[in-house]
Structure formats: structure tokens, C-alpha cells
A and B are shown apart, each in its own frame.
Chain A
């Protein structure tokens, strides 16, 4: 029995196997069981771009990493404490991530000559010095799974598909997680295939039972990870795509508008299209367009018609939308444009994460075409950020770029559900017909926000014509007048700049206002930067963390705030884009820390840079 339970503060587990081994399912089920036991967590699905790469190859390896604990978890963890390798290729690809002394579980049933060759091993690494620094548990999972499911009449291939559940059972035992949520899920998923459901449950139970009864080496301990002491409330595990979809719908409700999404499938943004397409009960209209251009054009058409148009894509798709973005800027129509960033340029690394579309968001259009840009920092943050994008779009009659990335989109974290009734509405009022003989102008502006009013077709008296040609400041009619173009260009810029006064002042996430070093980040680098700054401060270093949501315009106090530090370090998963914008805006010596390997920053990498930065000063 489980007598030897060791209490851990947190642990990082990485499941790795062939694409066909169901590692993403294993990981997400482990996640949901972990979340339900109240631990905080962060996940990192790391899968190949190929849908079905050849079986057993290193490029077909799919992995899922989860960091969970009884404390606030901000990153996916630098190095796993436990690595589950379902075949030689998974071992080959992932072994280097396992921390020295970490626990390695391998399915020896797959370590045959053919699989070893495919993975690039001449001889089996099992029992060799290569694995000496780890605690290795060799189990013939394949054989034990076949044994566990033999009564259900499945073919050999189908039976072996249950291997992931056997492994999951073992991991659930190891970390004292409940099996019930997984069993419920399996029974629902395979409701129409009761034998398959029963076999998977049997495999899960067998893996769990194996942990309980097997006489393994003393290192094979059972761990207990407690619940994190969080703020009271109702919690749920969400991915960024989910929270973002909900935020868009909430934004539409707060504005009193219908949501019309125009989108085209693209990795890693498609889950937003799927999420919103599944929200018809909440009144969302979705349109899977023929291409990226049609997707944003339909969103613009919807906004012209009086709904809130939304489009979602990733970098290559945003590139195609560039001309239409200009149209929305020029006609001053609200559109929420979501960029779930991935590695670039061109097709780049579709399933890997990067933050390299910041220039594209801020500058990537013809003409002087400013638009607000805001960025999400974590899965849960997507909800609030999406609402903010909707608010700015309708209040300022402008497209808004909402930057997220593949990591945030797919990662899951426990999230305290917000009180929806407490959200501040920003109800839209459409333009009214002028009284008397006054001519209606679609470009009548609010004096404070400089936003034009929004006429809705179908309303008598507000008939008007607009387009991408320059418009007269007063009447909205076509105008080629030089002074007018200058004025319109200026007013479009001033309108967006003015948003700086309508957004919160920039706060310091950790540390002090002013000091030796500020680490300035944006987007999904929040976790590693936060942890690294915490470690550095624990070491006594004078470093603070500032994390930006608003990229364009910057908050009104940002310049003053940044000039209070001797040094500025900007870690980014790109070649230095925010750094350039900060230097340009404020003429400050922002130093870059860049990583474009398709993997999130490790805490250690940021921490090392902080130390090096502060060392150079002395």
C-alpha cells in the first residue's frame, strides 16, 4: 500500500510518445484531475506540425508537460522531474530536458531493434551510462496493457492504444490524483463504443493498481502535492483559446452587439474559430471564409452593418489581412483582430511559439495606419484582454490587434472565474439622423475620444457612403485636398494616441518603482520573467518586473516609469521587437534578451541574464 508518501511543493511531469500514442490526451486528462484536486498548474503541449508523422520517428514525437504544485505556478517548469517515454524516439528527443536525478519511466515493450534504429540508437540506451544520472524505471507497459484489456475483445492494435491510459493510471497513483474524472470522461467519450471505454478504464485501473502493488525500487515513491491556497471563488481549468472566446462574447454583450466572427483555419488560431463556432447558444455568428482576406472583410462588413466584427488568425494570415486592416482604419470601423502568434517567417514553425509579430501588429500596413495593439500574458488573462479589445474597438471606432500566441492558446491553467455581473458595460449607441435639413456626415466625431459616430444601415436618415479613399474631415465625402489628408492622418493618429489616457497606468508587477534594473516583458513570457525576478530578488538583487498589456499606445506613465531604472532588460521570443519600439519611443537603452527556438524561456535563462546585466553595472 501507499505508505511512503512524500510531500512535494511542486512537480513537473512530461509525457512523451509517438504522435499516435495519445500523449496530448494523457496530458490533458492528468491536467484535469490535477486541477480538480486544487493544485495550481501550467501546461505545455509540444506536438509536431505533421498530423501523422511516420510511426516511431523522432520528428513524430509528441509531448505534454505539466507543472503543478501547492504554490502559485507561473511557468511550465524548466526541467521535468518525471519523464514518461513511450518509445525510443520519445526518449531520444526528451531525455535532455529531464533534470539530473529525475525519474525516467520507459515502456521497454517498444525498445525493439526497429524502433531503436528509427530513433537513431545503435544499441539500446537502457542500462548504459547515458542514463546513469537518472532513476530509471523500466516497465513493459505494452505487455501489461495487453494483459489488462484482454477480456474486451479488441484487436492487438486497438488494445495497444490503451497504453496511454495504463501510463496515466500509474502517474495518477504516483501523484495521488483521482481516477474518477478520467473514468467519467472515458465513458462519455466512448459512449457509443462500450468495449473501448471499458478497456481504457481497465488499463487505467491496471496502471494505478500496478503502482499500488508492485515491488519497485525504493526510488519509485508516491508523492502528495497539496492544494494551492488561492483567493476564494469558483475555479476552472482554461486554455487561452477558451478564455479568449469567452472574452469576445462577454465584450459583445457589454457593448450590446452581436458578434460576427470571420475566420479561416490556421494553426494555432483555429481553436478560437472552433470555440466561437460552438457558442451559437450565446448568439455568436461564425463564418469560415474562403481565405484570410475574406475573413477580415466579412468582419468589416459585419461591423459596417452594426455588429461587432471579429477575425482570428496567426502571423501569415494577418499578413494577408493587411490591406483590409487599412480599410478598417481608414473607414474607422471597429474590428477585433486576434493574432495567435507562431514561429515565423513564412510558414515558419506552425506549432511552436514565438512573439515575432509585434512589428507586424504595430507597423505592418501601408500608409500611416496606426491601430491599438494589446497583448495577453496567460490563458486566464485572455478573457480580460479580449473584453478590453472589444471596448477599445467600439469606443474608438478602430480595429484593435489582440496578440496572443501558440503557447497561451494551447496551455491550460486553473483560473478563478470572474463575476460576470460585475463587468462594466460599454453599450454602443448608433448614430442618429440629423434634425431638420442638416446633412448627415458619417465622420462626425466625439470631441474627447475623436471617434466618429457609428451609423447602422437600416436606419432612416443616416444613409451615407464610405470607403478607403480619403474622406473630407467634415462631410465624409471623397477628398483629395492636401490639407485635408494631413488633417485626417493627424486625427487618426491622435485618436489612437489618446487611448493612452483611457487605459490603466503601468504598474510594477514585482519590485520597486525605480531602481537598478527593470525587466520589461509582454505576452506569454510573463511566467518565466516573474519567476526569474523572484529568484533574483531572493538573492538580494535590485531588479523589478514590468509586464505590458498595452503595446500601442503605451500607458501614459511608461516613459517616466522606465526612466526611473538604470537599466532595462527586455526578454522576448523574437529578435528584439519590443526593445526597438521602446528605444524609438523613449530613447532609452533597452537591452534585448532573445530566444527563438520555438520553446518558452526557461527561468534559468532569464535569471542568468539578470545576473549578467547587474554584474556589468558594477
Chain B
């Protein structure tokens, strides 16, 4: 166990900022995410010594170097596995995993799947810029079909992976989405992710200014955003649009969500669905929205339903329940032995 430590005075953004020069490209969306994290951690009331950032390889994975906490920049795709071991050894730590679309969904897809399936008590942030930045612009598993890149000069042919669907399909208990530019929205999502017991998965739509600039602009541009983003809250009606008159309704005939306009075709506010973050099929449908014209991309906590015990608690619980019942000596000298005199 670690020594208990109570912060003498309230920590600030400065306390969480390391002395290392940040080396992302000017204008990179990662800056905004970093600032938001440095700003939000003090508000969560966490300590520097109990906070660890673990990352893999890629632009986003430089994140730990800029946080004045514990940090481990590991190898490509393996951060969830390293973080799992860390949590098993030192369960009181707050462990954040920072990964990207290539690191987390391509080379490290298997580890991400299993960290989510096991429900290891980690906060996993996946920066999705739909491109490989650090290796200079190859298409990634979340790139849209037709993405022209150095490795796909005639356009990519493989369909994009939806990180939210992946997480839910892996059995994640907490799934959320936010955007790098959403400085007001992001802190709330980080706090919810931090407070959740078990694995929390957050997809952050992030802009790569050099290799995939404006990849998300159709939903993040100031003008477009109100009609392209649906900010959801548990227990609230799912309404969006510049006029606040669009909403989601469940269509029983197609067994899917549809966008409707309040006041048109007899639609009233009563027809609009209320978000229930404990409803997994609903989360799955919300996560997939945005692919078709007119559909908004859903932001916020799509799904949150904690299990009774996180993986770490269950594993360590089995050990704690019997630890010390017998010693190594008891084990070695027990059973069938014989004496030679």
C-alpha cells in the first residue's frame, strides 16, 4: 500500500504540467486535450503521486511526458497490457491509458479488447485522428474508405472501424465520446471516466493538422456543429440542432433510431427519446449514428453501467481471501516427504 497523502493546498494546472517542452506540431488537437487534462485533474481532487499515465507509441502517446505525474511511454499498442499489470501490482493508483486509432485499434487492438472485456479499472483515452501521424500519414483503421495516403495512393479500400462499436462489442462498461475542441464538454467526460469503477473508454475526435487536417470539420465547424453533434445526458431528451428542434425517435418498423424534427409531420417533444446510459443496445445505436446524411454524431457518455467488481478487485480479492493461510515453508514441507538421517 502507498502512504496516504493529503494535498496540503489545492493543486493547480501548474502542478500537473511537466517541465518538458511539448513537441506536437503547432495547431495539433493534442494540445487542447493535454491542457484540458492538466486543468481538470486538480478539480477531481487527485494527487500527482497517485496518478499514472501509460501510453503506447504514436503522437498521442507522448502525452505522459507532459504530465507532471508518474508516466510510462511503453511500446506500440501495449499500453493496456502494461497498465493492467501496473494496476494488479499497485491497485490504489489512478491509471490513465492514452492511445490512438493506430496504436489502440490496429497493432494494439487485441489488448484494448481484453482490457475492456476484463473491465480493468483504467481510464482509456483514444485520440482518433483517422490517420498515422508519427509515421507520416498512412491511413489508419478508422480512416474513411478512399483515404489517399502514402500507402494508399489510389485510396484506401478497407472500411473504417467505429471505436465506440468496438468498445461496446468488447464488453466495455463505460463508453463516451468527445472532441478536442470541446473544452467545456471534455472535462465532464474526463471526470465521469475517472470516477467510474472499471474500464472507462473515451473516444476523442482529434485533428491532425499536418496529415489529415479537417478530418472532423464537417461536425466540428462552428456552423455545422449544432446540426451535426448531439450532446447527450442521462435522463435528458436527445434533442439537437441550431434551432433545438431536432431529436431522435425510435422507429419500430426499421428497428433503428431516426432523426425527426419537432413540429413537422406531427412530431412533438414527447416523441423524442430520453437517454438511458444503462441501456447497452441504445448505446450501440447511438455510437453508430453519424455515418449517414442528416445523422448527428453523439457526444457524451453513451454507456455507463458498473459491474459489481472491477477485474482488479476480483483478482486481488481471490488472493486477499486466502493470503497467509499457509507459508511457502508449509507448502514445500507439506505433502509426501521423507527423512534421511
* Residues of A near any B CB (own CB < 8 A): 32, 35-36, 38, 181, 227, 230-237, 246, 249-250, 253, 258, 260, 262, 279-285, 287, 289-291, 293-295, 297-307, 309, 323-324, 326-327, 331, 416-417, 420, 456-469, 477-478
Q: In the complex, which residues 289-339 of chain B have their Cβ closer than 8 Å to any Cβ of chain A?
A: 315-316, 318-319, 321-329, 331-333, 335-339
Q: Which of A35, A231, A458 contacts B338 (CB 8 A)?
A: A35
Complex formed: what's the CA distance from A323 to B319 in Å?
30
Residues of B within 8 A of A250 (CB): 328
Instruction: Closest A residue to B325 by CB, please name it.
Output: A281
Instruction: Closest A residue to B329 by CB, please name it.
Output: A420
Q: Which of B82, B323, B339 contacts A281 (CB 8 A)?
A: B323
Residues of B within 8 A of A232 (CB): 339-341
Main secondary structure of the interface of B (DSSP, over half): mixed
Complex formed: what's the CA distance from A417 to B333 in Å?
7
Interface centre among A249, A253, A282, A458, by most chain B C-beta atoms within 10 angstroms, is: A458
List of 6 A-B pairs having minimum Cβ-Cβ separation, nearest first: A467-B73, A458-B2, A301-B85, A298-B85, A307-B89, A305-B89
Complex formed: what's the CA distance from A460 to B71 in Å?
14
Q: What would 25 A/B residue contacts be, using CB atoms closer than 8 Å?
A: A230-B340, A234-B339, A235-B339, A246-B328, A260-B85, A279-B331, A281-B325, A285-B316, A290-B81, A290-B113, A291-B110, A298-B84, A301-B54, A302-B86, A302-B88, A304-B85, A305-B85, A305-B86, A305-B87, A327-B74, A460-B47, A465-B70, A465-B71, A467-B72, A468-B73
A181 touches B337 (CB 8 A): no
A298 touches B81 (CB 8 A): yes
B88 touches A285 (CB 8 A): yes
CB distance from A482 to the nearest CB of B (A): 19
Complex formed: what's the CA distance from A327 to B341 in Å?
50
Interface string of B155-182 (1 = CB under 8 A from A): 0000000000000000000000000000
Residues of A within 8 A of B323 (CB): 280-283
CB distance from B241 to the nearest CB of A (A): 43
Complex formed: what's the CA distance from A371 to B55 in Å?
24
Complex formed: what's the CA distance from A280 to B315 in Å?
10
A181 touches B336 (CB 8 A): yes
B336 touches A294 (CB 8 A): no
B64 touches A467 (CB 8 A): yes
CB distance from B1 to the nearest CB of A (A): 8
A290 touches B85 (CB 8 A): no
A294 touches B114 (CB 8 A): yes
B324 touches A281 (CB 8 A): yes
A38 touches B340 (CB 8 A): yes
* Residues of B near any A CB (own CB < 8 A): 2-3, 5, 18, 20, 47-50, 52, 54, 64-65, 67-76, 78, 80-90, 92-93, 110-111, 113-114, 315-316, 318-319, 321-329, 331-333, 335-341
CB distance from B179 to the nearest CB of A (A): 27
Complex formed: what's the CA distance from A249 to B331 in Å?
11
Residues of B within 8 A of A467 (CB): 64-65, 71-74
CB distance from A114 to the nearest CB of B (A): 41
Complex formed: what's the CA distance from A329 to B85 in Å?
17
CB distance from A586 to the nearest CB of B (A): 35
Q: Which of A234, A461, A466 contacts B72 (CB 8 A)?
A: A466
A297 touches B324 (CB 8 A): no
B319 touches A280 (CB 8 A): yes
A253 touches B73 (CB 8 A): no
B336 touches A233 (CB 8 A): no
Residues of A within 8 A of B82 (CB): 297-298, 300-301, 304
Complex formed: what's the CA distance from A235 to B321 in Å?
31
B337 touches A236 (CB 8 A): yes
Residues of B within 8 A of A258 (CB): 89
Q: Which of A295, A463, A477 contacts B20 (CB 8 A)?
A: A477
Q: A235-B337, A237-B336 are in contact. Are A246 and B331 (CB under 8 A)?
A: yes
A283 touches B75 (CB 8 A): no
Q: Which of B65, B114, B315 contacts A285 (CB 8 A)?
A: B315
Complex formed: what's the CA distance from A32 to B113 in Å?
45
Q: A231-B340, A237-B336, A301-B89 are in contact. Are A459 and B324 (CB under 8 A)?
A: no
Q: Which of B50, B65, B318, B324 contacts A478 (CB 8 A)?
A: B65
Residues of A within 8 A of B331 (CB): 246, 279, 281-282
CB distance from B318 to the nearest CB of A (A): 6
Complex formed: what's the CA distance from A305 to B74 in Å?
14
Complex formed: what's the CA distance from A377 to B328 in Å?
23
CB distance from A529 to the nearest CB of B (A): 26
Instruction: Closest A residue to B18 by CB, please name it.
Output: A465
Q: A285-B319, A301-B86, A457-B52 are in contact. Are A294 and B111 (CB under 8 A)?
A: yes
A282 touches B327 (CB 8 A): yes
CB distance from A386 to the nearest CB of B (A): 12
B340 touches A233 (CB 8 A): yes
Residues of A within 8 A of B3 (CB): 458-460
A283 touches B319 (CB 8 A): yes
A463 touches B48 (CB 8 A): yes
Complex formed: what's the CA distance from A305 to B92 in Å?
11
> With A298-B81, A300-B74 given, can you name 16 additional A-B contacts, CB distance below 8 Å?
A233-B340, A283-B319, A283-B323, A285-B88, A290-B110, A290-B111, A299-B85, A300-B82, A301-B82, A304-B82, A305-B93, A307-B88, A417-B333, A457-B93, A465-B72, A478-B20
Q: Which of A235, A307, A331, A478 contacts B340 (CB 8 A)?
A: A235
A463 touches B69 (CB 8 A): yes
Q: Which of B49, B68, B76 contacts A459 (CB 8 A)?
A: B49
Residues of A within 8 A of B328 (CB): 246, 249-250, 253, 282, 420
Q: A283-B324, A457-B90 are in contact. Are A38 and B110 (CB under 8 A)?
A: no
B72 touches A309 (CB 8 A): no
Residues of A within 8 A of B337 (CB): 234-236, 417
Instruction: Closest B residue to A290 by CB, please name it.
Output: B114
CB distance from A572 to the nearest CB of B (A): 32
B75 touches A323 (CB 8 A): yes
Q: A181-B336, A282-B331, A457-B49 are in contact. Are A297 and B341 (CB under 8 A)?
A: no
Complex formed: what's the CA distance from A596 to B118 in Å?
41
Complex formed: what's the CA distance from A230 to B340 in Å?
7
Complex formed: what's the CA distance from A468 to B80 in Å?
16
Instruction: Closest A residue to B110 by CB, please name it.
Output: A290
Residues of A within 8 A of B80 (CB): 294
B2 touches A459 (CB 8 A): yes
CB distance from B95 to the nearest CB of A (A): 9
Complex formed: what's the CA distance from A567 to B65 in Å?
55
Instruction: Closest B residue to A324 by CB, please name it.
Output: B75
Complex formed: what's the CA distance from A323 to B318 in Å?
32
Residues of A within 8 A of B321 (CB): 280
Residues of A within 8 A of B64 (CB): 465, 467
CB distance from A457 to the nearest CB of B (A): 4
Complex formed: what's the CA distance from A304 to B75 in Å?
14
Complex formed: what's the CA distance from A297 to B340 in Å?
44
Residues of B within 8 A of A331 (CB): 72
A304 touches B86 (CB 8 A): yes
Instruction: Closest A residue to B92 by CB, please name it.
Output: A458
Complex formed: what's the CA distance from A200 to B20 in Å?
72
B93 touches A458 (CB 8 A): yes
Instruction: Closest B residue to A252 by CB, please name it.
Output: B328
Instruction: Closest B residue to A439 by CB, please name it.
Output: B19
CB distance from B27 to the nearest CB of A (A): 22
Residues of B within 8 A of A465 (CB): 18, 20, 64-65, 67, 70-73
Q: Which of A237, A287, A416, A417 contacts B85 (CB 8 A)?
A: A287
CB distance from A246 to the nearest CB of B (A): 6
Residues of B within 8 A of A233 (CB): 339-340
Residues of A within 8 A of B111 (CB): 290, 293-294, 297
B85 touches A262 (CB 8 A): yes
Interface centre among A181, A283, A331, by most chain B C-beta atoms within 10 angstroms, is: A283
Instruction: Closest B residue to A333 by CB, please name it.
Output: B72
CB distance from A495 to the nearest CB of B (A): 21
Residues of A within 8 A of B85 (CB): 260, 262, 287, 297-305, 309
CB distance from A434 to the nearest CB of B (A): 14
CB distance from B178 to the nearest CB of A (A): 25
